[in-house]
Amino acid sequence: MEQEQRVRFHATGGEYFRIWIVNLLLTIVTLGIYSAWAKVRRNQYFYSSTELAGSTFEYHGNPVAILKGRIVAAVIFGIYIAAASPWFIWKSLQFRLHNTSYRGIRFRFVGDVHDAYTNYMVRPLLNVVSFGLATPFIHQRAKAWQHNESRYGKARFSFDGSVADFYKLYGCLFVIGGAGVVALFQLMIRNTPAPASSAQAIGETSLFLLAFYGWAFVVYPLFMNMLQKLIWNHTSLEQHRFHSDMRWGRLAFITFTNYLAVICTLGLFLPFARVRAMRYRLESMSLLVDGSLDDITAVQDGEVGATGEGMAEFMDYDLSL
C-alpha cells in the first residue's frame, strides 16, 4: 500500500539571513572570490533543511572546484570579448557618427580596424607587464585615435592632449582616492578592539564599505570632471576649438542626488537622473568658433551596419570618454 511522504522544509528566514549577510559581506570584501564558498554554504543550508521520509539531503559541492570552473569560464569569455571588442568598437564609432548630422552634414569615422585592435587589444597588454601603470598611455592613444579619425563633413577633428596630461590626471586620482582609502582603513583599525568578535568585525567591515562608497561619490565626479575637461579642452574641429567649464561640485551634487533619488524611488527616477546628468554634461560644453561653420561641406558615404553599435551598448562601453 502506498504511503505519502511529504517534503518538509525547516529553514527559517532568520537563520538564512545570518548566512546571507555574511556571504554578501565576504563576497564584497574578497572582490567576488568568496562567492564560490557562499554558494556552497547556501546550498548546504537549504539541502540540509529539506526533509523527505525522515532524512535530509546533503550538498557536497567543492568551493575550490566551483571557483576553478568560474575562472575557466571567465577566461574563455574574456578571451572572446578581448578578441571581438575592438571590431565592435570600430563598427560602433562608424555607425554612431555616420548616423549623426548637424546642419544637414553628417559626421564620419575613418579610422582603420587594425588601429582599433592596436588600441583596444594590443596596447592594453602593456598593463600586464606594467601592473596597470600603462593605463594613462593606453587611454591617451585610444582617445587621440578616436578624435583624430573623426570628421564633420570634410572637416577634421584633432586631439592634442599629451600622454603626460593623462598621467597627471590618473596620478591625481590615485593620490586623492588612495589617501581617502588609507585614512578610512586606519580609522577602522583604531576603532576596532584587538580581540574583536565576528559580529564586531562584520559591523566594522560594513561601516568601512559604506564609508568607501561614500568616498567614491567624492572621487568619481572629480575624475569625470577632470577627464571631460582634459579631453574636450584639447579637441578642435579645424580652427574651431571646444571648451568645457564643468565644475566638480555641481557634478558631485548631481551624481549623489541622482543615486539617492533612484534608490528612494526604486529605480523610477532613472530616466530623470539620466537627463539631469546629460544636460549638465552637455551644457558645460561650448564651441569657440573661429570664422564660420558654413564653409564646411558634406561628404557622401554609404550605409554602415548597426552590429557594432548594438554590441558596444550591450557591453556598456562609453565611447565618449
Q: pLDDT tens digits for 240-260? A: 999 999 998 899 999 999 999
Kindly state whether residue 270 falls inside one of the protein's structural domains: no
CA–CA distance from 26 to each of 14, 70, 191, 202 (Å)? 19, 17, 20, 9
Kindly state whether residue 252 falls inside one of the protein's structural domains: no
The set of cell numbers assigned to 261 is 533619488
Closest Cα partner for 108 from 63, 62, 152, 45?
A: 152
> 30 is in which domain, residue-wise?
8-61
> CA-to-CA distance for 5 and 291, rounded, in angstroms?
87
Tell me: pLDDT of 277 over 70. yes
Please tell me the predicted confidence (pLDDT) of residue 44.
94
Whether residue 171 contacts residue 192, with contact meaning beta carbons closer than 8 Å, is answered with: no
Please tell me the predicted confidence (pLDDT) of residue 5.
85
Please tell me the predicted confidence (pLDDT) of residue 307.
57
Kindly state whether residue 3 falls inside one of the protein's structural domains: no
Kindly state whether residue 55 falls inside one of the protein's structural domains: yes
Tell me: pLDDT of 137 over 60. yes
DSSP assignment string, 259-311: HHHHHHTTTTTHHHHHHHHHHHHHHTEEEE--S-GGG----------SHHHHH
The set of cell numbers assigned to 251 is 557634478
pLDDT cut 90: percent of the chain above it: 66
Kindly state whether residue 90 falls inside one of the protein's structural domains: no
Please tell me the predicted confidence (pLDDT) of residue 214.
79
The total number of structural domains that make up the chain: 1
pLDDT band at 304 (very low <50, low <70, confident <90, very high): low
Please tell me the predicted confidence (pLDDT) of residue 198.
62
CA–CA distance from 187 to each of 177, 180, 195, 211 (Å)? 16, 11, 17, 11
* Mean local confidence (pLDDT), 32-41: 92
The amino acid occupying position 50 is T
Kindly state whether residue 27 falls inside one of the protein's structural domains: yes
Please tell me the predicted confidence (pLDDT) of residue 187.
75
Answer with the residue of higher pLDDT: 207 or 68: 68
What value does the mean pLDDT of the chain take?
88
Kindly state whether residue 111 falls inside one of the protein's structural domains: no
pLDDT digits (tens, 9 = 90+) for 184-230: 777 777 766 555 556 666 666 777 777 778 788 888 889 999 999 99
pLDDT band at 138 (very low <50, low <70, confident <90, very high): very high
Tell me: pLDDT of 49 over 60. yes
Tell me: pLDDT of 305 over 80. no
pLDDT digits (tens, 9 = 90+) for 122-135: 999 999 999 999 99
Tell me: pLDDT of 308 over 60. no
pLDDT digits (tens, 9 = 90+) for 4-25: 889 999 999 999 999 999 999 9
CA–CA distance from 195 to each of 18, 22, 189, 199, 208 (Å)? 21, 19, 12, 12, 18
Please tell me the predicted confidence (pLDDT) of residue 184.
78
